[in-house]
Amino acid sequence: GQQLNQSPQSMFIQEGEDVSMNCTSSSIFNTWLWYKQDPGEGPVLLIALYKAGELTSNGRLTAQFGITRKDSFLNISASIPSDVGIYFCAGPSGYSSASKIIFGSGTRLSIRP
């Protein structure tokens, strides 16, 4: 079945740094979704992308839908402590965007003391 691979698995950043992470798949996705999960809570949707090449921002977050439709990127500018958490990419597993939604294994973001 389709799988989503996220990299890096974890990263330590200094407050104020920019952050980049990505998500790849061996097959084409029609929708890319980025979620953030804080400890003890369910994931929360950050950004949704629906067209190849699309670049969408949500505050300091920017995500891009890769041209090949097999990858997506999430950037966080000028990181702050509340950015700490786990970031997941997700997408519909079939050709229809109404297919079940599957998730990557996440990128854990921590602040370097």
Partner 1 sequence: DTGVSQDPRHKITKRGQNVTFRCDPISEHNRLYWYRQTLGQGPEFLTYFQNEAQLEKSRLLSDRFSAERPKGSFSTLEIQRTEQGDSAMYLCASSLLTGGNRAGELFFGEGSRLTVL
Distances (CA, A) of 107 to 5, 86, 97: 10, 5, 24
Binding residue for partner 1, selected from 8, 18, 45, 57, defined by CB under 8 A: 45
Cα–chain center distance at 48? 9
- Hey, is 8 helix, strand or coil? coil
Q: Provide the residue count of the chain.
A: 113
Does the footprint of partner 1 cover residue 58 (CB under 8 A)?
no
- The single residue among 42, 59, 81, 113 that binds partner 1, judged by CB under 8 A, is 42
Q: Is the Cβ of residue 68 or residue 97 nearer to partner 1 in the bound state?
A: 97
State yes or no: residue 102 binds partner 1 (CB under 8 A): yes
**31 near partner 1, judged by CB under 8 A:** yes
Q: Does 77 bind partner 1 (CB under 8 A)?
A: no
Q: Which tokens belong to 44? A: 């929360």
Query: Minimal distance in Å, beta carbon 37 to partner 1?
Result: 8
Query: Residue 45 or residue 55: which is nearer to partner 1 going by CB?
Result: 45
Give the one residue of 14, 67, 98, 112 binding partner 1; rule: CB under 8 A.
98
d(CA 94, CA 62): 25
Rounded CA-CA distance 89/10 in Å is: 14
